[in-house]
């Protein structure tokens, strides 16, 4: 249970599908006005229309600070200044480091990390003036434990985790706060769009609705960091306390992929870049 959030304006990046859309539905069902942002105008407008009158849509790429600022201003013009920002827009990327081009590293940082930095910069001054606001950053367990064959993605989410931790301390006592939500795998289009299906037996993908519930809880305040499933918090702690055990476990989980990579390298010689980031 959580105490009720007063009627609020909630801006959600990546609100056109998956976790972001589920979160938008839940905020709207609790009586909040929601502003959704995503790149595909048709998708984000359909998503807002499916929620109802208290939802508005704006199209922007979160990597484009000017376009994103305009989108957030447009939403604020229609609904009022944002009380809650959910930095959820994100893309995956799959590929061994030796086979991944710099463009993939740049794009994942631009979207998954700098996208949140840009959105925060757009809302933070107003929140500080009003002494009220909550920012919820959607990280990942891959932002706490390095994920093999997802180095570009992992690094972007580690950046987001570090940014969130720093900001949380800076904001203490201002009336504005920030939280990090770290899901494990979630059953959305994320994997198909990155070009590689989720391949591990554990953790099992969870329903996006469960992550949305956690985001709504995080918007109410309380814990600075949350995990789903919850036991992932202990997996993170285990990595810090017994790194060798964590590393051996992760090597075992990716034994097949590592074997394939070694085979490709011995057949082809120099690795070929083939990693891709969802565009």
Q: Which of 108, 140, 154, 177 binds ligand NAP (CB under 6 A)?
A: 140
Catalytic residue among 113, 153, 163, 227: 153
Question: Closer to ligand NAP at the Cβ: 111 or 176?
Answer: 111
CB of 86 to ligand NAP, least distance (A): 10
Q: What is the dihedral of CA 49, 63, 163, 173, to 10 degrees?
A: -50
**Could you tell me whether strands 93-94 and 276-277 are parallel, antiparallel, or unpaired per DSSP bridges?**
antiparallel
CB of 12 to ligand NAP, least distance (A): 9
The 30-59 contact track toward ligand NAP, x by CB under 6 A, reads --------xxx--x----------------
**Residue 195 and residue 277 in contact, taking contact as beta carbons nearer than 8 Å:** no
Q: Helices in the chain by DSSP H: which ranges?
A: 18-29, 41-51, 65-79, 102-108, 114-130, 151-171, 190-194, 208-219, 232-241, 243-253, 255-268
The token duo for 198 is: 């989720």
Nearest-angstrom CA–CA distance, 236 and 227: 10
Instruction: Confirm or reject binding of residue 190 to ligand NAP (CB under 6 A).
Output: yes
Q: Which of 5, 9, 16, 164 binds ligand NAP (CB under 6 A)?
A: 16
* 113 part of the active site: no
Q: Which of 103, 189, 223, 247 binds ligand NAP (CB under 6 A)?
A: 189
Q: Which of 8, 9, 10, 18 binds ligand NAP (CB under 6 A)?
A: 18
Nearest-angstrom CA–CA distance, 197 and 273: 19
Q: Which of 5, 8, 9, 17 binds ligand NAP (CB under 6 A)?
A: 17
Q: Half-sphere exposure of 36 toward its Cβ, with a 13 Å CA cutoff?
A: 34
* Residues at the site binding ligand NAP, with contacts judged by CB under 6 A: 13-20, 38-40, 43, 61-63, 88-91, 111, 138, 140, 183, 185-186, 188-190, 193
**Residues with a known catalytic role:** 153
């Amino acid at each position: 249970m959580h105490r009720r959030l007063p009627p609020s304006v909630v801006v959600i990046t990546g609100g056109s599908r998956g976790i972001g859309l589920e979160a938008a539905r839940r905020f709207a069902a609790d009586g909040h006005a929601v502003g959704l942002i995503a790149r595909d105008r048709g998708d984000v407008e359909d998503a807002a229309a499916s929620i109802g009158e208290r939802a508005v849509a704006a199209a922007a790429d979160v990597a484009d600070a000017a376009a994103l600022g305009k989108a957030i201003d447009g939403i604020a013009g229609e609904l009022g200044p944002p009380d809650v920002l959910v930095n959820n827009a994100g893309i995956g990327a799959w590929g061994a480091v030796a086979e991944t081009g710099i463009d993939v590293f740049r794009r994942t940082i631009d979207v998954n990390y700098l996208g949140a930095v840009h959105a925060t910069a757009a809302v933070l001054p107003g929140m500080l003036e009003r002494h009220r606001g909550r920012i919820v950053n959607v990280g990942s367990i891959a932002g706490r434990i390095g994920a093999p064959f997802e180095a570009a993605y992992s690094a972007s989410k580690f950046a987001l985790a570090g940014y969130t931790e720093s900001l949380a301390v800076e904001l203490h006592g201002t009336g504005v706060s920030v939280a990090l939500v770290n899901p494990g795998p979630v059953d959305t289009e994320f994997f198909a769009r990155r070009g590689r299906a989720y391949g591990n037996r554990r953790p099992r993908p969870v329903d996006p609705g469960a992550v949305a519930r956690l985001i709504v809880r995080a918007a109410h305040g309380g814990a600075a960091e949350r995990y789903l499933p919850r036991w992932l918090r202990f997996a993170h702690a285990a990595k810090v306390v017994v790194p060798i055990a964590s590393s051996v476990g992760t090597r075992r989980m990716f034994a097949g992929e590592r074997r394939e990579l070694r085979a490709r390298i011995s057949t082809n010689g120099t690795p070929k870049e083939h990693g891709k980031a969802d565009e």
